Amino acid sequence: MSKDHIGELEELILLLILMLKEEAYGLAIRKALKEQANRNVTIGAVHGTVNRLESKGFIESSMGGATEERGGRRKRIFSITASGKSILQKSRDVKVNLWQQIPELSIEKA
Amino acid sequence: MSKDHIGELEELILLLILMLKEEAYGLAIRKALKEQANRNVTIGAVHGTVNRLESKGFIESSMGGATEERGGRRKRIFSITASGKSILQKSRDVKVNLWQQIPELSIEKA
DNA sequence: TTATTTATTCTATAAAGTATAACAAATTAA
DNA sequence: TTAATTTGTTATACTTTATAGAATAAATAA
């Protein structure tokens, strides 16, 4: 267990959980990955990753209430922990720092 | 072969190769990972990653000239390709975009 | 011609990422 | 009251990435 860094998909999902707030559950994360990060993964991939993140203490989960509208199982809602937020910030800081030292990348932007 | 995204260490090494320019070779990359990214990996880990990046077309390599000062084998110098630069920019754009949508992370900075 | 130094390569394993299929629970309708 | 439908999570198996440690190689110096 490394604990001082996370994988690439782990980072994206952590960010999306922050964005989705109360609506951060498996299928919604998968949809957001596609729409916000152009990343098409199966639902199994999402759940595998959130399980890993939870066992590392970066997120926690609780079962949501019964569905409002039509049928369906209850949602497992995820939220980020303090250490999850902390590792996201570290990851960002490292990259921002590197990017700033590379004029090449800053200039040639889309 | 995914081709539309890279691993976390792959991204860091890609960035460091850009930074190191003519001095981008195994041991220097390892040193930079430690100093610039707080990431302590063995030299074997670095070479495994650069080999992967090269086979994916994100970097290319050539053998440097004989060492200037004391003994030692010749360096394998890496440089980034157009597609390597492109994938770095995509990766950055996705994350910058997400971060901007999360006020929580922007405020609570170190 | 052997030591020393600086580097890369090889090999084996753990962790992260991924897809597919199976299962479960809630609602709706028969 | 039970079968169908919907929405969701879990289980399993496999590939790719990440990693360490040891072996090897090539250059210079003694």
CA distance B9 to A8: 9
Reply yes or no on whether the pLDDT at B107 is more than 60.
no
Residue partners of B75: CB distance under 8 A and separation at least 6 = B25, B26, B63, B64, B67
Cα angle B98, B104, B106; round to 5: 70
pLDDT the model gives residue A108: 55
Mean pLDDT, rounded, of chain B: 91
The distance between the two most distant Cα atoms of chain B, rounded to a whole number of Å, is 53
Element (H, E) at B23: none
Is the Cβ pair B15, A102 closer than 8 Å?
yes
If you average pLDDT over residues B69-94, what whole number do you get? Answer: 93
Of the residues B14, B18, B49, B83, the best mutation for testing chain A's interface (the one with the most A CB atoms within 10 Å of its CB) is B18
pLDDT in tens, chain A (110 residues): 468 999 999 999 999 999 999 999 999 999 999 999 999 999 999 999 999 999 999 999 999 876 566 778 999 999 999 999 999 999 999 999 999 999 887 655 44
pLDDT the model gives residue B85: 97
If you average pLDDT over residues B44-73, what whole number do you get? Answer: 89
pLDDT the model gives residue B109: 47
Reply yes or no on whether the pLDDT at B8 is more than 80.
yes
If you average pLDDT over residues B61-76, what whole number do you get? Answer: 81
B110 touches chain A (CB under 8 A): yes
Of the residues A15, A86, A87, the best mutation for testing chain B's interface (the one with the most B CB atoms within 10 Å of its CB) is A15
**Helices B8-20 and B26-37: angle between axes, nearest 10 degrees:** 110
Best CA proximity match to A26, nearest among A71, A69, A61: A61
